[in-house]
A and B are shown apart, each in its own frame.
Chain A
Amino acid sequence: MQVVKVDRLSKRYGEVVAVDGISFTVEAGTCVGLLGGNGAGKTTTIAMMLGLLLPTAGSVEVLGADMSRQRWRVLDRMNFSSPYVELPNRLTVRENLTVYGDLYGVADVPDRIARLARDLDLEVFVDRPVGRLSAGEKTRVALAKALLNEPAVLLLDEPTASIDPDTADRLRSYLELFRRETGAAIVLASHNMSEVERLCDEVLMLRVGKLVDRGVPAELVTRYGRRNLEEVFLDIARDRRREAAE
């Protein structure tokens, strides 16, 4: 079941090409990883998938809605987290989640907050202002916000940045469980290769806005003759694809 269809998507800012004609689809219940160095076009692609940014050419369709023109139809079934945005620092975690719960039309907001607080270990600081939390705690709160409405399509940009390995591992387990239980599709942009290998069914390799390779993580590692995805990433980021293939 195809829930996301990206078709020849491009974004230009004058002479600068941020995304250059990429196409891919995402099935319900799967996780697709966007990999690439800084400036590869990952965040721009996610912004266009959310309808926050209009493409120069091509289209994005999510749950049957064209995100350039009909995003309002499906935004309550999507969510995202990104290091480029924050939650209001002076509001407590509970106040923030209450506001976003109502914005997303969540049926029983207090109950949903209580469950997420328990599952993501937010209970200790749920009544503390967000501005007083550590970077790792903020990242967990951002993830809680992203899961509030149990989205059918979840877009995650560096979801475990600033989190210690133990907490990051537990969050990944939670994301796996969430995907299994709800059938949600996840699009994940990350620089953490072990995270991508663990969570993603397919990886899209981006370089300077172009989709330069794609495949199942294990397949890519074999094809490039490397030991892990990180080495494949370095080959692609440094444009050593041909040498690696040889």
Chain B
Amino acid sequence: MSAEPLPPALAVVARGSAGRRIGAMFMRHWFLLRGSWPRILELIYWPTIQMVLWGFITLHFQQNSSWVAQAAGVLISGVLLWDILFRGQLGFTISFLEELYSRNLGQLFVTPIRPWELIVALMGASLVRVGIGSFSAALLATFIFGYSIFDLGLSLAAFFLNLMMFGWAVGIAVIAVLLRTGLGGESLAWLVIFLVAPVSAIYFPVEALPDWIEWLTWCLPPAYVFEGMRSVLFGHGFRWDWLLGATLLNLACMAAATALFVWSFEVARRQGLLLRTGE
């Protein structure tokens, strides 16, 4: 089945580009953030409260724990890096939830934007959210406790990238579910990342976990990052093997999450869920 050739007025060549569409979606979230001070306050609030809480715990343990005393920043670094992971995932999924709250998803999916472009834009939005929240908390840690996570140097960039990748992978999986459930699955966006918290070795080494759960910990990228962080802080140097392990696992997680998203999108198209994404 094929229509006749189109007249020049109708046979317009593709006018947009992937970069412009991604930029447009990124701008959409930037407009939202800059016009809403409660959203910005919320981004800064929790990372700061967490950092202050763990800062005081650190002060206490420095006098009562030889392990913490060896590396004063081990707990604060843990909490700040965990916050990058948590905020990275949350920033990604909340940006998607904003489309559900505003009943805008149906409009978006009839524009030329491809699903992968939307995902890249959501990654950008989550970077901005993490930047505002975690960067503010990290700066405050310097002033309040005299500890700067930036002393981790270039290794911080490697940790940051890997934690963001894992946050995005979890975020993509969550929005795949949200495509099916609509706002009924909203709480997943807030809760799901905490499933991996106990087995990510954020505040303690992997060896502190029971033997039967250690294998699961090494299946998850965050454990490599937090062990790597401790290695640097305790003066054992940067572990390239752990960086490689985290990166490979992250790539596998992102591939699996993307496959889930693509499948969910097609199911949503079959079931007519893209126009009706409320509760």
- Please report A residues at the B interface, Cβ cutoff 8 Å: 1-3, 5, 7, 11, 13, 28, 43-44, 47, 50-54, 59, 61, 63-64, 66, 72-73, 75-80, 82, 84-92, 95, 98-107, 129, 145, 149, 152, 182-183
- Which listed residue, A50, A51, A95, A101, touches B31 by the CB 8 Å rule? A95
A44-B272, A64-B6 are contacts. A102–B20 as well, Cβ < 8 Å? yes
* B111 interface neighbour in A86, A95, A103, A129, Cβ under 8 Å: A103
- Chain B residue numbers with a CB within 8 Å of A47 are 272, 274-275
- B112's contact among A76, A88, A183, by CB below 8 Å, is which? A76
Q: B-side interface residues toward A, CB under 8 Å? A: 1-4, 6-7, 9-10, 12, 14-17, 20-21, 23-25, 27-28, 31-32, 35-36, 98-99, 102-114, 266, 269-272, 274-276
Q: How many A-B residue pairs have CB under 8 A?
A: 154
Asked whether, in the complex, the Cβ of B31 is within 8 Å of the Cβ of A78, the reply is no
Q: Is the interface of B mostly helix, strand, loop or mixed?
A: loop
In the complex with contacts A2-B4, A102-B21, A85-B111 CB distance below 8 A: no
Instruction: Using CB atoms, name the residue of chain B closest to A100.
Output: B111
A85 touches B275 (CB 8 A): yes
CB neighbours (8 Å) of A2 from chain B are: 3-4
The CA of A91 and the CA of B17, in the complex, are separated in Å by 23
Q: For the complex, what is the distance from the CA of A95 to the CA of B32, rounded to whole Å?
A: 10
Contact of B104 among A50, A86, A152 (CB under 8 A): A86
- A1 and B106 contact, Cβ closer than 8 Å, known pairs A76-B15, A91-B32, A105-B112: no
Task: Give the most central of B3, B98, B103, B274: most A CB within 10 Å.
Answer: B3
A99 to chain B, nearest CB (A): 5
A98 to B108, CA, bound (A): 14
- Chain A's nearest CB lies how many Å from the CB of B69? 48
Label chain A's interface by main secondary structure.
mixed
Q: Are A88 and B1 in contact (CB under 8 A)?
A: no
Min CB distance B24 to A, Å, is 3
Tell which of A44, A52, A92, A106 touches B109, judged by Cβ atoms closer than 8 Å: A52
Q: How far is the CB of B14 from chain A (nearest CB, A)?
A: 6
Q: Collect the chain A residues with CB atoms within 8 Å of residue B103's CB.
A: 84-86
A59: chain B residues within 8 A (beta carbon): 1
Interface pairs (26), CB distance under 8 Å: A2-B3, A44-B272, A47-B274, A47-B275, A51-B269, A52-B109, A53-B275, A54-B266, A54-B270, A63-B10, A64-B3, A66-B1, A84-B103, A85-B107, A92-B31, A95-B31, A98-B27, A100-B107, A100-B111, A102-B16, A102-B24, A102-B27, A104-B16, A105-B20, A106-B15, A152-B10
Instruction: Report yes or no: B15 in contact with A104, Cβ–Cβ below 8 A.
Output: yes
Shortest Cβ gap from B196 to chain A (Å)? 31
A28-B107 contact given A54-B269, A95-B31, A102-B27, CB 8 Å threshold: no
CB neighbours of A13 from chain B (8 A): 271-272
Q: Which of A28, A89, A98 contacts B10 (CB 8 A)?
A: A28
Given pairs A91-B35, A99-B27, 12 additional interface contacts (CB within 8 A): A44-B272, A47-B275, A72-B114, A75-B111, A77-B10, A95-B28, A99-B31, A102-B20, A103-B16, A105-B20, A149-B15, A182-B9
Partner of A183, one of B10, B104, B108, B270: B10
